[in-house]
Amino acid sequence: MTTTPSVDSGDRSHALAPIESVAQISSALRDTDPTLDPRLAAKARQAAADGVVLLRNDGVLPFGERTVAVFGRVQLDWFAVGYGSGGDVKVPYVWNLLAGLRDAGVRVDDALADRYASWTAANRPEISTEWGRWPHHFAEMPVEATVAEAAAERAEVAVVVLGRAAGEARDSLLEPGSYFLAAEETELLDRVTAAFERTVVVIDAGNVMDLGWLDRYGDRIAGLLYAWQGGMEGARAVAGVLAGEIAPSGRLTDTIATRYDDYPSAENFGDAEVTVYAEDIFVGYRYFETFAPERVLFPFGFGLGYAEFEERVVDASVTADRVEVIVEVANVGTRHPGRQTVQLYVAKPGRALAQPARELAGFAKTSLLAPGDRERVTITVELAELASYDDAGSTGHRNCWVLEAGEYDFLMGTDVRRATSAASVTLDDLRVVRRVQEAAAVDPRTPFRKMTAARDGEGRVRVAWEDAPTSTVDRRARVLSDPLRLVPPTGDRGIRLDAVAAGTATLDDFIAQLTIDELADLARGDVIMDSPLGTPGNAGVLGGVSASLRAKGVLPVTTADGPSGIRLSAYASLLPSGTALASTWDPELVRELAELHGREMVRKGAHVLLGPGMNLHRNPLCGRNFEYFSEDPLITGRLATAVVAGLQSQGVAACPKHFAANNQEESRTLNDSRVSERALRELYLRGFEICVREARPLAMMTSYNKVNGVWSHYHRDLVTTILREEWGFEGCVMTDWWMESAVDPDFPALEDNAYRVRAQVDVLMPGGVKDEGGRQSYVDRTIQDSVAREGGLSLEELQRGARNVLRLVLALAPVITARA
């Protein structure tokens, strides 16, 4: 979504305000009311802290009684979130790291801190107001060798804080100051590590950045902390971890490779027109653990703590349908409490279908264990969840989810690399788990070769290549076979939507009254962002967008940007980024946070939160990775399920996005994601499927990009065949804000909004059509014109879309009317 970024005024006094000073929740919210729920702030701090990943520690952490010299301007100019609509929240305060350290009781070198405070006040970063042109980093204060040496006389340990940001329409770049260290950052590290025997590096970022420079400094970098952007409480949470008042327990949800070129997607990222997903299912750790384990600096799932743990499998039971592993975790240390994450991976047979060496199958996290404490966690895996998709017929069962015959080895550990065998099950025969229809496959006109696995003469696995299977579906025939149901029009009978909610009329009774214009109005938002029909500052309004619909009781529904907070004119909480939440590996904690967030939505007047973001971290440069969870679809699905369940428990709606394969920001509205049906289903749709089946979100947002040649907002295969028919989604599907113009290639009488409605993308948001100057200025009549045209959109299709929208309005009505 396109928005205007907020600009830092240079006033950072709010960053020093502790949460204890926040007043009680206001009962009469105003746009100028800065009060927040202290329970939400406390839970946000906990989530941000539990998402911090400790990557290196020689005993320097926690700081204890040591005096610490803090270098790097990001200690004050903290990146609380990434750029764009996903984090541009009107937040009343944001902690910085220096304030957080002092609040946690850490003795900081005041002389150095004062030097940074003066310099940063006089050298404010230049933040462009041009969309997508924000800085990836801020220029560093020059630090002479004498300054570092003087600080080393006053302090025992140095902290160097590095910061990075990217965001919507702003991918990271393979340049110094973005993916790589800037020259002044290298100089800073050189001078600090030369002056101090022990240096701790804190990385405040939303994306993975290059860490190959660690070798340059050896053991002089004694500690390394990856602090994913944690929102308003993030810096305070990091300070709590450094101080030792919070036990670090975060684990990586991405692989950190030795070099960028080692990532399998490196050759196919950033093109303005086409992205070929040539690596296929071998994304992230699936690639590295299979083909290049030596090219990994920090493996998927890795993270350190202050406590010392031992893990032991105490029971592993296997049936024909499931595997259950019980693991006892003991804190065998003597000084620190901590939490441990137990991860279960599976190695599949890989006979007809190539398979990665291991794949995440389940995980569990302990409670906080004091020294000497023990706890048992149970991980249960349904074998059906491990099925692979055969898009080529290699197993003899094309377009089926299958479990091949052979041994399934389950490995338990605390990261993907250190997992060892815990249980196994052998299937004597291939098992067909699910038969589905081919959908969203590769266009035969744009074939490509995709990665697979083969074995050399000595049995070693190597990269091989094969043709991606292409589509065989007659789309026109599929559309014409849709089971549509006509509700015969009756004209206005005085039935209001309230009667449907009360059970005195059916939804079909209500829909039968609607005119073509009213049905078309339900298929769009109220033209503009910040609609006067909704809460001030809204992203857009849908539902009761016309006077005639409102007269019939259709309430306007306010949507608000997310996922890291509620973007309205009112003050709201800025919450940890998606990556920070996922790095907790704690769905229950995230569900609790989302429940409190849902309560804030109710108080602020937001009915639909545009989140969570669910696209995969296919490549570390994708600008919106901070909004998303992981390179892995299982942890993506589990964490998104927690967010949706928490939000919707409060009567509001979540709207997961971006459906589907939005994995780069460069030319995002034009780029064609060309991906095999197997990779699409097993990776890029799998998290969405888990979320839909387990949490039943009330809404879904399509992406801007094309998927195998078709823009997602026209993609019937994605939205109808897979989302609705296979997964049982009954909610409202909306576009990302605006859409590209196109004519249905199989039905020339359908274009733009009519083409979209046939795909069951129910609502164009924010609802207006842009003029030649790019202004959102008017509502077109493509729907009405198409209905009136031979071979055009049918009344049944228009009613079907209206039904989807009205179900959302009915679900939200109690919250909307209660606040009114």
Q: How many CB atoms lie within 10 A of CB 639?
A: 30
Phi and psi (nearest 5°) for 425? -140, 140
User: What does the alpha-carbon distance between residue 590 and residue 641 come to, in Å, rounded to a whole number?
Assistant: 10
Mind listing the pLDDT tens digit for each residue in 85-125?
Answer: 888 899 999 999 999 999 999 999 999 999 999 999 999 98
Residue type, 686: R
Phi and psi (nearest 5°) for 717? -60, -45
CB 86 within 8 A of CB 231: no
**Mean pLDDT across 47-65:** 97
What pLDDT score was predicted for residue 530? Answer: 93
CB 428 within 8 A of CB 459: no
Percent of the chain with pLDDT over 90: 91
Average pLDDT over all residues of the chain: 94
Which has the closest alpha carbon to 648: 598, 687, 708, 717? 598
Mind listing the pLDDT tens digit for each residue in 275-298?
Answer: 999 999 999 999 999 999 999 999
What pLDDT score was predicted for residue 774? Answer: 67
In DSSP terms, which residues pair with 770 in a beta bridge?
A: 776
Report the DSSP pairing between strands 769-770 and 556-561: unpaired
User: What does the alpha-carbon distance between residue 412 and residue 423 come to, in Å, rounded to a whole number?
Assistant: 9
CB 7 within 8 A of CB 129: yes
**Mean pLDDT across 735-748:** 95
Reply yes or no on whether the pLDDT at 356 is more than 50: yes
CB 278 within 8 A of CB 268: yes
**Mean pLDDT across 755-771:** 93
CB 624 within 8 A of CB 86: yes
Phi and psi (nearest 5°) for 620? -65, -10
In this structure, which topology does domain 488-819 adopt according to CATH? TIM Barrel (3.20.20)
Mind listing the pLDDT tens digit for each residue in 609-656?
Answer: 999 999 999 999 999 999 999 999 999 999 999 999 999 999 999 999
CB crowding 257-271: b at 16 or more within 10 Å, else e: bbebebbbbbebbbe
What pLDDT score was predicted for residue 777? Answer: 67
What pLDDT score was predicted for residue 634? Answer: 98
CB 536 within 8 A of CB 568: yes
Q: Decide which of 1.20.58.110, 2.40.10.220, 2.60.40.420, 2.60.40.10 is the CATH code for 285-436.
A: 2.60.40.10
Q: Return the H-helix or E-strand segment holding 390.
A: strand 388-390
The pTM assigned to this predicted structure is 0.95
Interacting residues of 315 by C-beta distance below 8 A, sequence separation 6+: 324, 325, 326
CB 574 within 8 A of CB 564: yes
User: What does the alpha-carbon distance between residue 52 and residue 240 come to, in Å, rounded to a whole number?
Assistant: 11
What pLDDT score was predicted for residue 768? Answer: 87
**Mean pLDDT across 591-612:** 97
In DSSP terms, which residues pair with 748 in a beta bridge?
A: none
Identical fold for domains 13-35+52-248 and 488-819, yes or no, is no
Reply yes or no on whether the pLDDT at 30 is more than 60: no
Which has the closest alpha carbon to 677: 475, 470, 478? 470
Q: Which CATH architecture has domain 13-35+52-248?
A: 3-Layer(aba) Sandwich (3.40)
Mind listing the pLDDT tens digit for each residue in 207-231?
Answer: 999 999 999 999 999 999 999 999 9
Residue type, 69: A
Reply yes or no on whether the pLDDT at 55 is more than 50: yes
What pLDDT score was predicted for residue 776? Answer: 62
User: What does the alpha-carbon distance between residue 322 and residue 381 come to, in Å, rounded to a whole number?
Assistant: 6
Active site residues: 736
pLDDT confidence of 459, banded at 50, 70, 90?
confident
- Domain limits of the chain? 13-35+52-248, 285-436, 488-819
Give every strand in the sheet of 322-331, ordered side by side.
Answer: 309-318, 322-331, 374-382
Count Cβ atoms within 10 A of the Cβ of residue 275 and give its class: 0-12 exposed, 13-18 middle, 19 or more buried.
buried
Reply yes or no on whether the pLDDT at 24 is more than 80: no
